Amino acid sequence: MISVWGFYRARFKTALAVQLQYRVALAIWMLGLVLEPIIYLSVWTAVAAGSGGVVNGFTVSDFAAYYIVLLVVQHFTQIWHMWEFDWVIRQGILSGRLLRPIHPIHNDAAENIMYKLLMLVVVVPSVVLLVLLFQPVLNPPLWSALAFVPALLLAGVLAFLVGWCVALAAFWTTRTFAINQVYFIAMFFFSGQVAPLALMPPLLQTLATLLPFRWMVAFPTELLLGRLTVEAALAGFAAQAGWIALSAVFTLLAWRAGIKRYTAMGG
């Protein structure tokens, strides 16, 4: 445990230095993070205004609350390592990481955590500004607001593990762009990102319940908005735990199979 903690401390410092070095790229990521929910919020606000102020029970203020909370949730569930993993394999970088006395997943986990902590300097003032501009309605019951914190943490763990599962496809193909695109398209429709799931067709709502994406994004968002009953919240936590366990097992199996293939090919 001490060695793992020491690795994370060292990796945090390195990741911070890298992020600060590439300030232009960091600024682009920050801009995208803030602009995306603003665009959706503007669209649905216009739709609500054109529909008498309400769309399926969502008022303009409800949409404002949804997308402001969504910004926070998406920040803590961001994962991008599947875009880099095929390059890490092709360039032989993975070989060096395999020589370390710690699993390579910790390298990406440390980088992911550092990025999210660093970006809080943008997320927090952005949320404050959006609250002042759009005047959201956010009155969750106390139990729901408290439950949001563990739900958000579990959502971040789930998103990271599922993303790493997708990344491991790079062991079997040299280009994973198409696979990554399918993943993010599914995330777009089934996580509540493009619209609250309550506004989606029944079939999509059913599929979203069966897939992991809802439990990464929509579930903690709906929890903080106070739109879930206690029973629905407990079911959501069970779904998160189940998908985390399933993703961990699949990651382990895929890693073992993939690393055998990698070393057999002279990696």
- Whole-prediction pTM value? 0.89
Instruction: Tell me if 238 sits within 8 A of 210, measured CB to CB.
Output: no
Please state the rounded mean pLDDT for residues 128-138.
87
What tens digit of pLDDT does each residue of 43-79 get? 887 888 777 778 888 888 888 899 999 999 999 998 9
What tens digit of pLDDT does each residue of 240-263 get? 999 999 999 999 999 999 998 887
**Residue 13, number of CB atoms within 10 A of its CB:** 12
**Residue 129, number of CB atoms within 10 A of its CB:** 13
Residue 100 corresponds to which tokens in the numbers above? 């370390």
| Torsion sign over Cα 226, 228, 229, 231 | negative
What tens digit of pLDDT does each residue of 176-216 get? 889 999 999 999 999 998 889 999 999 999 999 999 999 99
Instruction: Tell me if 210 sits within 8 A of 184, measured CB to CB.
Output: no
